[in-house]
Amino acid sequence: MAPEDLVVIGRLARPHGLRGEMSVEVLSDFPERFVPGLAVVGVDEAGRRRALVVSAVRPNGERLLMTFQGVSSRTEADALRGLDIAVPKGNEMPRPAGFVYHFDLEGCRVVDRAGRELGVVTGLAELGGRSLLELRTPGGVREVPFIEPIVVSVDLEKRLVVLDPPAGLLDE
């Protein structure tokens, strides 16, 4: 499985307590997906992988506290610190109406309401609680707020995003 075949849903921050529990930064719009029995892949910065299965989950402020099968001490949990936790593409949560995943948008053509080519989506970034559509345009990389009325429509089947950008937003 290639790295692009995984969807990162969380990051293991640090051990919590002495019995293998980990503080988890949730990177999913669907924190309810974290349940006992969930199989995930832990991935380090070098791309090395480790299969993990969630054995317990409980809320802790903005984060979750999680234990994994076979991890029962602080030392074992500390070895997981910093791992991204991911699921294979295709195992993501079903999309609610009007919801798109960032990886669905990557590579989509971007046009304005008149059908003029504006560029190609290279990503969707989160900045200060706002989503920004990253575009590769003839004038360079641009960031566009991923909000209505700027984003008019997203057609994943046609791989097309229609924008109505305000004057100057995509200028050099």
**Domain harbouring 117, CATH code:** 2.30.30.240
Same structural domain for residues 51 and 79?
A: yes
Same structural domain for residues 71 and 135?
A: no
Same structural domain for residues 8 and 47?
A: yes
CA 106 to chain centre: 12
Range of the domain at 9: 3-88
Q: Is the pLDDT reported for residue 162 higher than 90?
A: yes
- Whether 130 and 145 have beta carbons less than 8 Å apart is answered as yes
158 DSSP assignment: T
If you average pLDDT over every residue of the chain, what do you get? 88
Is 172 a domain residue? no
Domain boundary among the residues 56, 88, 120 is at 88
CA gap 169, 39 in Å, rounded: 42
**pTM confidence score:** 0.62
pLDDT given for residue 172 in this prediction: 62
Q: Which whole number is the average pLDDT over 136-145?
A: 90
CA 112 to chain centre: 26
